[in-house]
Chains A and B, each alone.
Chain A
Amino acid sequence: MPYREKTAWLSLLAMAVTFGPYFTMIAVRALPSEPMPTLRQLGLFGVTAIVQMLILGVGHLYLRRGSAQEARMPLDERDQTIMRRSVSWAYYVLIAGMILVGCVMPFNSSGWSIINAALFMIIAAEVVHYGVVVFSYRRQA
């Protein structure tokens, strides 16, 4: 498996085990009648972000040790094509999300709902980005 595919899998895994539980907790707890206090929200987000950074940091170190030579190589033309394709797909998800969050949600939501919706769309765009990378390497295109 190419090094860059492994790093894409790592990023997907890190998002799944951090922001998966984060958004589940938000969905379960942040009902309109029972909003999470700001400090708890901030704490939850802080812990999630730190755990994600730790997983990515340790994971990248581990992967680099296993494929040191490949990790040092610059992106070749196929890697760049895959990267362009994945960023392009992620852009559409992000722009759709930002239109929803910035232009629609302010009329019927406020505060942390908007912040969490924006975060969700950023994570969704990242999932699409790394998903397209993995898919492209899997089918060798």
Chain B
Amino acid sequence: MIKGSISNRIRILRFHSGEMSQAELGRRIGVTRQTIAAIEAGKYSPSLEAAFRIAHVFSVPLDDVFQWDVNGTR
């Protein structure tokens, strides 16, 4: 199996969206603030649907939010 790790730019995207709070992002995609915090910290990988919702909130393509580093380890 190919090893890799997922990283994300949610913190930066929130900053560029007028310092949107984790709670606000969570409310808009239907998860709790704690889940957004866990996603941001790379501790939890969201479902594909939630990932698309996050990208939709920031009006960016999915790979602008999440990146997969093929050599990275968490």
Partners in one complex: yes
Are B47's CB and A137's CB within 8 A? no
What are 15 A-B pairs with beta-carbon distances under 8 A?
A76-B30, A76-B32, A76-B35, A77-B31, A77-B50, A78-B34, A79-B32, A81-B44, A137-B34, A140-B34, A140-B37, A140-B38, A140-B41, A140-B44, A141-B44
Range, interface on chain A:
10 to 19
Give the B-binding residues of A (Cβ under 8 A): 2, 70, 73, 76-79, 81, 137, 139-141
Does chain A have a CB within 8 A of B46? Answer: yes
The reply to whether the CB of B43 lies closer than 8 angstroms to some CB of chain A is yes
Interface residues of B (CB under 8 A from A): 30-32, 34-35, 37-38, 41, 43-44, 46-47, 50
A-B pair count, CB < 8 Å, reads 34
Give the shortest distance, in Å, between B57 (CB) and chain A (any CB). 15
Residues of B within 8 A of A77 (CB): 31, 35, 46-47, 50
A70 CA to B27 CA, complexed, in Å: 11
A141 to B38, CA, bound (A): 7
Q: A78-B31, A78-B35 are in contact. List 9 more A-B contacts (CB 8 A).
A: A77-B46, A78-B34, A78-B38, A78-B46, A139-B43, A140-B34, A140-B37, A140-B44, A141-B44
CB-based closest 6 A-B pairs: A140-B43, A76-B31, A140-B38, A78-B35, A2-B34, A141-B43
Q: Which residues of A contact B34 (CB under 8 A)?
A: 2, 78, 137, 140
Nearest CB to that of B50 among chain A residues?
Answer: A77
Residue of A nearest to B49 (CB): A77
* Nearest CB in chain B to that of A3: its residue: B32
For residue A94, give the distance in angstroms from its CB to the closest CB of chain B. Answer: 27
Closest to A137 in B: B34
Q: Which residue of A lies closest to B38 (CB)?
A: A140
Nearest CB in chain B: distance from A25 CB, A = 39
